[in-house]
Amino acid sequence: MTTYPKVLIGVTIYEAKDYIWEEFFENIQRLSYPNYDIVIVDNTRRKKYYNKLLKRTKNYGNTRVFHVDRGENSRVAHSRSLNKIRQILLDEGYDYFMSIESDLLPPIDIIERLISHNKLTVGCLYQIGFDYSKSQPPRPCLFDVTTKADGTAATRNLPPEEGYGFFGHGVVPIHGCGLGCTLIKRELVEKFPFWHYLEGDIKHSDVLFYLDLHNAKIQAYVDTDIIIPHYNQDWRLVKDA
């Protein structure tokens, strides 16, 4: 008899992402892996959207919805949401955290494909940036690590000319690839809570997660044969980014 590791799909969301909700939720309900549950954590400032999500998901036994206080800005909201998912995973004995952001539509076999690589953490390629932007042009969500003048590690997003060169090369080591569609083994979730900076260039939990791995000499990977459609929001509309 085949046994399947227990996977927790964790989704962080707030009301501005509602434009893609129906497509997103239908997509993650169709995933073909036989042993997963879904936790959705809303960090909208008021609970109106949380109550809306409760009504939408009430007939899905594999899905639970929670709300966390948004805090000062999106950085605080993101880390609080991820840590809520982390606590549920640890308390309830899940083997993997499958992070899927609420504006990505992965293929239905994404969990099987990523588990098959047997890595501590492995993500997928998805595009960030915008056609209109000179400072943030379209490019894969891939990070490199650099060293600052004081000797500490820092992160940079790969520019298009570097990032697009990764396509189609299988599973490769990478400093970081975001948490948009990323599988993380429990042992990493146990070691590394999610956090944020309120000051400086390095701010959000995904960047800091990969810096934690780097400082602990733990290698992250990305499957460059999987490109996830990303219906990303214009960051200029995020008032508390």
What are phi and psi for residue 130, nearest 5 degrees? Answer: -140, 145
- Mean pLDDT score, 108-123: 98
For residues 213 and 218, give the distance between their C-alpha atoms in angstroms, rounded to a whole number.
5
Tell me the mean pLDDT in the region 116-123: 98
Whether the predicted pLDDT of 29 surpasses 80:
yes
pLDDT digits over 12-23, tens only? 999 999 999 999
Instruction: Give the model confidence (pLDDT) of 167-211 as tens digits.
Output: 999 999 999 999 999 999 999 999 999 998 767 665 689 999 999
Other CB atoms within 10 A of residue 91 CB: 8
Question: pLDDT category, 235, cuts 50, 70, 90?
Answer: low
* pLDDT beyond 50 at 154: yes
Q: What is the average per-residue pLDDT within 113-122?
A: 98
Report the DSSP pairing between strands 171-174 and 181-185.
Answer: unpaired
Q: Could you tell me the domains of the chain?
A: 7-234 (3.90.550.10)
**pLDDT cut 70: percent of the chain above it:** 95
Predicted model pTM: 0.94
Beta-carbon contacts of residue 200 (< 8 Å; ≥ 6 apart): none
How high does pLDDT run on average in the chain? 93
Give the list of residues 6+ apart from residue 8 with CB closer than 8 angstroms, or none. Answer: 36, 37, 38, 39, 85, 88, 89, 92, 94, 96, 97, 98
Lowest mean pLDDT among 35-39, 125-129, 138-142, 194-198: 194-198
- What is the pLDDT at residue 236? 57
Task: State which H helix or E strand residue 144 sits in.
Answer: strand 143-147
